[in-house]
A and B are shown apart, each in its own frame.
Chain A
Amino acid sequence: EAQVTQNPRYLITVTGKKLTVTCSQNMNHEYMSWYRQDPGLGLRQIYYSMNVEVTDKGDVPEGYKVSRKEKRNFPLILESPSPNQTSLYFCASSLRGRADEQYFGPGTRLTVT
């Protein structure tokens, strides 16, 4: 089944404790991205990647890191999480790029205390 998977789905952590949210897609998509969703603000893009080893900042990259060592994986790293990073995070992928239909993962609900 064609899909985008994220792990973990739920995470509660404390300020400053490094964490990684994994994202994987099995559709051989070139483009992958991370969004955060907060009430009233819609989805805001954190980082995106047009291809392996190519990543770029989105609208809200501060406090986040990403890497794209393999085409299928695009992990999101929070080196030192803070409470303002409490949010619902989505990974998405598309075949060719940002203009295309995006396929979203199920989301990761992160709480930083």
Chain B
Amino acid sequence: SQQGEEDPQALSIQEGENATMNCSYKTSINNLQWYRQNSGRGLVHLILIRSNEREKHSGRLRVTLDTSKKSSSLLITASRAADTASYFCATYNNDMRFGAGTRLTVKP
């Protein structure tokens, strides 16, 4: 069963713009991870944030975690056409649960 729910389900932006995706979850977690999936391919790990962390950065990616609101956001700055993919959040608390994903399209 899903734990995280991504919002929006789909997002379309122009190259150079920032993209923000959100993930909400229901129960407490130990960590939350974000993954990227190019069409029909395997998921690629982007970033892991622990429950005692509030923000992490990796290159153009910025992830925040608000455990009081049970939500996380993934910000991709200065997006590129190559960022076009589906993005999934996965929450861990004894089990790992994936959301249904946000489909991001970056137009050149």
Binding site for B on A (CB under 8 A): 4, 35, 40-45, 59, 88, 90, 92, 98-99, 101-107, 109
Give complex CA distance A69, B34 in Å: 31
Interface of A is mostly: strand
Which residue among A41, A42, A59, A99 has the maximum number of chain B CB atoms within 10 Å of its CB? A42
**Contact of B98 with A42 in the complex, beta carbons under 8 Å:** yes
Which residues 40-58 in B have Cβ within 8 Å of A in the complex?
40-45, 48
Tell me the number of A-to-B contacts counted with CB atoms below 8 Å: 52
Interface residue B105 (Cβ < 8 Å from any Cβ of A): no
Report the minimal beta-carbon distance from A103 to chain B, rounded to whole angstroms. Answer: 7
Which residues 1-26 in B have Cβ within 8 Å of A in the complex?
1-2
**Contact of A99 with B41 in the complex, beta carbons under 8 Å:** no
Interface residue B61 (Cβ < 8 Å from any Cβ of A): no
- For chain B, which range describes its interface: under 10, 10 to 19, 20 to 34, or 35 or more residues? 20 to 34
**Contact of B45 with A42 in the complex, beta carbons under 8 Å:** no
Known: A59-B1, A101-B33. A90 touches B42 (CB 8 A): yes
Known: A41-B2, A43-B88. A98 touches B96 (CB 8 A): yes
A contact residues around B67 at 8 Å (CB):
none
Q: Which residue of A lies closest to B93 (CB)?
A: A99
Report the minimal beta-carbon distance from B85 to chain A, rounded to whole angstroms. Answer: 13
Q: Of A40, A99, A102, which one neighbours B100 at CB under 8 angstroms?
A: A40
**Contact of B45 with A103 in the complex, beta carbons under 8 Å:** yes
**Contact of A102 with B88 in the complex, beta carbons under 8 Å:** no
A contact residues around B41 at 8 Å (CB):
106-107
**Contact of B43 with A104 in the complex, beta carbons under 8 Å:** yes
| Between-chain CB contacts (< 8 Å), 7 pairs | A40-B100, A42-B2, A90-B43, A102-B90, A103-B45, A104-B42, A107-B41
Which residue among B31, B42, B88 has the maximum number of chain A CB atoms within 10 Å of its CB? B42
**Contact of B99 with A42 in the complex, beta carbons under 8 Å:** yes
Q: Of A41, A101, A105, which one neighbours B42 at CB under 8 angstroms?
A: A105
B contact residues around A35 at 8 Å (CB):
98
**Contact of B101 with A45 in the complex, beta carbons under 8 Å:** no
Q: Of B42, B94, B100, which one neighbours A42 at CB under 8 angstroms?
A: B100
